[in-house]
Structure 1
């Protein structure tokens, strides 16, 4: 199985949940002090918020696991931070789930949506706060680990 990205042990891929847009916003802090007759003086205080938004479409009848969004919600409920690693092996650091949004359309007669658009908002946190267990056990396509560290390697 080819993975697009992993948040802890949750793997983004076609069989689970595929995103089609990756948006990252990085900010730096530069507070100002007013001065008479001159522009405000600014001082760099270092990095500010760093956010990633993953957006995509889940089509349960075609590809994707309808339980995947609920697994992300369960991870968000824990309030933990998780390592974010791309399918190319790029390590982004520790990220916490800030919000999960979903919109279901094209509903069947039983009320189940045929198309679910989602947005996942992640916020960067200090790497030391990452959950060592990697998040939700039992993520489809990801084997469970005994000691909780294999996912990090």
Structure 2
């Protein structure tokens, strides 16, 4: 069995849970500030975390994969970061699963799923190393808050 990608304990293989599309999304964060007179000023806040979407088609009756996709869906709701590795064993570090959309497209006899598709969206898991001190990562405001607590 050839493993294409691994996320946590879940393997994407040629035989069962596979993917046909690997899409990368680049996104920027902007804030619009509306001004008097109906105008506005745009402020670039920086890039949003890059995300990747893996999309695939499953044929559970002939090749399997549906149980693995459902297990990955259950993993999504736990909110735990997962390690991501490529076919060559290259580590992409820890990722967070943002969403899994699983569609049953063809239903056969006895309500068995004959064809299913999925879209799995992941993003790099940030561990707080680059936290903004003004947003709770320490720095001047945290020191001032600690000082105020000691005074009262």
TM-score when scaled to structure 1? 0.68
Structure 1 equivalent of residue 74 of structure 2: 74
Separation in structure 1 between the aligned mates of residue 91 and residue 24 of structure 2, nearest angstrom:
14
1:80 deviation in Å?
0.7
Q: Which runs of 4+ in 1 moved over 4 A?
A: 28-34, 40-43
Find the aligned partners of 1:69 and 1:54 in 2 and give their Cα distance.
Answer: 12
Indicate conservation of the 8 Å contact 2:61/2:113, yes or no.
no
- Mapped to 1, the partners of 2:93 and 2:31 lie a distance apart of 26
By how many angstroms is 1:92 displaced?
Answer: 1.9
User: How many pairs align?
Assistant: 126
Structure showing greater Rg: 2
Name the residue aligned to 2:49.
49
Distance 1:41 1:96, change over 3 A: closer
Q: Which region of structure 1 is more displaced relative to structure 2, 51-60 or 25-34?
A: 25-34
| CA distance in structure 1 between the partners assigned to 2:101 and 2:125 by the alignment | 21
Query: What's the counterpart of residue 145 of structure 1?
Result: none
Matches for 1:2-151 after TM superposition, within 5 Å: 2-29=2-29, 46-126=46-126
Please provide the CA RMSD for this pair: 2.6
Match of 2:142 in 1: none
- CA drift at 1:74: 1.5
DSSP-derived class of the 1:78 partner: coil
Q: Is the contact between residue 4 and residue 87 of structure 1 (CA under 8 Å) also seen in structure 2?
A: yes
- Say which SS state the counterpart of residue 123 (structure 1) adopts: strand
Greater helix share, 1 or 2? 2
The aligned counterpart of 1:138 is none
Q: 1:100 to 1:42 in 2, by over 3 A?
A: closer
1:141 alignment partner in structure 2? none
TM-score of the two chains, using structure 2 as the length reference: 0.68
